Copies of this chain bind each other. A is one copy, B any other.
């Protein structure tokens, strides 16, 4: 399925190089790198893990995303002379000049990464990426990797929730560019909401770069830019199959009279500008007629104008597409609009009117989509902007990047806040499936432990407070992570957005519905092996005994 790097990703790679220079990080990464370098520790082999502590939006799962961006970033990780000169100007004056020479020579050729596949369903506390390499280098990568994973995973998860709320059939259109955190926020949102389950985007650049299907026809400003039928030019249109152009405006005016009569509407309520706008658009794009019909009043003008123009198009053998509703009660209006379409179809014997799509776009949130799905409605495509891209109910994921091993020795952050403690040591992560193939538990083991065996019971310790040890017998065991970057080289083909979308949807499909409930889901079990559990206990014990270097000295 996946496509080799050099085919799909040349543009992406170029764009990433500009967007994520290695200077795009927190200053303290450099001061720490210097301190390591100064102490001769910079090349000590170190391992960091990236994970998040809670599933977002009060949900029971997340989707992991941002991996390809991370890999392209690593591939291009190199400081320019200009970068280094800037650092020289802001680091303390007593920084040894040789450190800057060291920085100039840095790259990720000694870095390796094991990670979950892009788009996989994942859970809180599970290490999603393991980054290993020289201590100073892997430290320098922290902020950029977090920045690339945090929002991508968050917005991808948000999109998956919108998809669950919408059901599998309704098409979802992402249109959040104008409300995102600037240009790149918008581009990231388009890519990762597609992976999370959206079908279409309004973002043309995302279409170009990522191959996501794009959609869009007109805004209210187009409609209000017309005030009179005199602005319509040309007023003629040739039939679809060819032939002499006919007076399209005249045809539409005729149909408008019939439509008003059929729907019991007053012709004087029809806005001339709106009819002019629809006419003009239909003449420009007779095969793609899908106007926004609520610039003035759906019932008194927009719907009538649409039906008249659509009937005229049908008479010329074109197939109009449908309408967009952008304000008010979308459910109620969609039902009324559908009713009108059916009336037209019957009365004028135009079966095309039975298959028009109705697009709804009006500050749609997850909650309003859930409500919409419960009510009678005729909306085929839902467009979502603000609430999707800004992730209103929880605008950040809170991924962290924690040191777990240096020079082969486990490291652990002990916090007075127990949930902020980390799990020490280098790990292997297994997903245990039940007999029906549904994920049952994620198991965090030390990397040197043997993998769990199918049909062999194993003891483990679920994470979370007051969770008792338990025994589990897996029906199937999969390794959750694979090696994706090895000593400076990408070792697996990068997935396109479409490929990752397939992975996300099948990963979600396998998950039990009770874990996917949008509200109060059944928590999915994440556990550590007995050996991880013992290691944590040993380190805590060592800690409680304290160090005696001061006394012994």
Cβ-closest chain B residue relative to A69 = B182
Cβ-closest chain B residue relative to A48 = B221
Contact A19 B184 (CB under 8 A): yes
Residues in B neighbouring A221, C-beta threshold 8 A: 32, 48, 139, 142, 401-403, 413
Cβ-closest chain B residue relative to A66 = B182
Cβ-closest chain B residue relative to A279 = B39
Residues in B neighbouring A218, C-beta threshold 8 A: 28, 31-32, 35
Question: Chain A, 520-553, contact with B by CB distance < 8 Å: what is the 0/1 string?
Answer: 0000000000000000000000010011111101
Question: Chain A, 170-181, contact with B by CB distance < 8 Å: what is the 0/1 string?
Answer: 000001011111
Q: Of A285-293, A341-349, A437-445, A471-479, which binds chain B?
A: A285-293
A157: interface (CB < 8 Å): no
A319: interface (CB < 8 Å): no
Question: Chain A, 187-201, contact with B by CB distance < 8 Å: what is the 0/1 string?
Answer: 111000000000000
Q: Which of A32, A93, A143, A392 has the most CB of B within 10 A?
A: A32
Question: Chain A, 388-409, contact with B by CB distance < 8 Å: what is the 0/1 string?
Answer: 0111100111110111001001
Query: Can you report 30 residue pairs joining A to B where beta carbons are below 8 Å apart?
Result: A18-B19, A19-B182, A24-B183, A24-B203, A24-B204, A27-B216, A29-B216, A31-B281, A31-B288, A32-B218, A35-B281, A39-B231, A39-B283, A46-B225, A83-B208, A86-B204, A86-B207, A90-B204, A146-B178, A146-B179, A147-B182, A148-B182, A151-B181, A179-B396, A181-B182, A224-B411, A266-B546, A272-B547, A272-B549, A327-B420
Residues in B neighbouring A215, C-beta threshold 8 A: 27
Known: A25-B204, A27-B215, A295-B413. 15 other contacts (CB 8 A): A18-B19, A19-B182, A27-B207, A31-B216, A32-B217, A41-B225, A41-B233, A142-B221, A147-B186, A151-B180, A268-B547, A271-B547, A327-B415, A327-B417, A386-B396
A246: interface (CB < 8 Å): no
Residues in B neighbouring A189, C-beta threshold 8 A: 181
Contact B227 A143 (CB under 8 A): no
A202: interface (CB < 8 Å): yes
A97 to chain B, nearest CB (A): 14
Determine the distance from Cα of A19 to Cα of B180 in the docked complex, in whole angstroms. Answer: 14
Cβ-closest chain B residue relative to A135 = B225
A446: interface (CB < 8 Å): no
Residues in B neighbouring A205, C-beta threshold 8 A: 21, 23-25
Given the interface contacts A83-B208, A411-B225, does A398 sit within 8 Å of B24 by beta carbon? no
Residues in B neighbouring A15, C-beta threshold 8 A: 18
Interface residues on A, range: 35 or more
Residues in B neighbouring A551, C-beta threshold 8 A: 267-268
Contact A232 B39 (CB under 8 A): yes
Determine the distance from Cα of A30 to Cα of B390 in the docked complex, in whole angstroms. Answer: 25
A203 to chain B, nearest CB (A): 7
Determine the distance from Cα of A268 to Cα of B205 in the docked complex, in whole angstroms. Answer: 60
Determine the distance from Cα of A181 to Cα of B151 in the docked complex, in whole angstroms. Answer: 5
Cβ-closest chain B residue relative to A27 = B216
A58: interface (CB < 8 Å): no
Question: Chain A, 121-154, contact with B by CB distance < 8 Å: what is the 0/1 string?
Answer: 0000000000000010001001110111011100
Leading 6 A-B pairs by shortest Cβ distance: A184-B184, A181-B185, A28-B216, A181-B181, A390-B395, A27-B216
